[in-house]
Amino acid sequence: MNQWHIGEILIQKKLIDWKQLEVALAEQKRTHEFVGEVLVRKKYIPKFLFYKALAERHTMPFVDLSHVFIDPCAVERVPKSVAVRYGFVPIEIQGGTLVVGIGDPKALLPESEIAEIARVSEIKAVLCTPDAVVVAIEQHYGNKNIETGASV
């Protein structure tokens, strides 16, 4: 299923129909947006359902950050500047693995660098909506200094 286009997956899951996909594809040619952005903007599909399908397309788990406990111990392991620069939020530590939420399934994280900073052996990325990642970073890092993580 990894070779399928996101529109085909959404149709297969009965989240949109062919007409909606055709409208979105025509608009995509005009606006140069991603098909998913058009589908969400036109309210053909809720953003979180689109991202769940996108996660499936990229064979990765989807996590709804509004329903997940973000462990402060995981957040403390990564400076805010690193989380902001690479667009992820630390969620939890499972054994020697830091689970991070990302808003782009194609994001290239420097996993070895992040693992070294966080003092873990590996990084596992899960897909979240981009808005939720931004909100979670703001909520869990608050007014901490971007470079050091210390409160200001």
Residue 107 to residue 120: CA distance in whole angstroms: 20
pLDDT in tens, 34-44: 899 999 999 99
Query: Helices then strands (H, E): number in the chain?
Result: 8, 3
pLDDT of residue 104: 93
pLDDT in tens, 24-75: 999 999 999 989 999 999 999 999 999 999 999 999 999 999 999 999 999 9
Residue 43 to residue 125: CA distance in whole angstroms: 27
Residue 1 pLDDT class (50, 70, 90 cuts): very low
pLDDT of residue 146: 46
pTM of the model: 0.83
* Average pLDDT over every residue of 117-145: 91
Residue 143 pLDDT class (50, 70, 90 cuts): low
Chain centroid to Cα 67, Å, comes to: 14
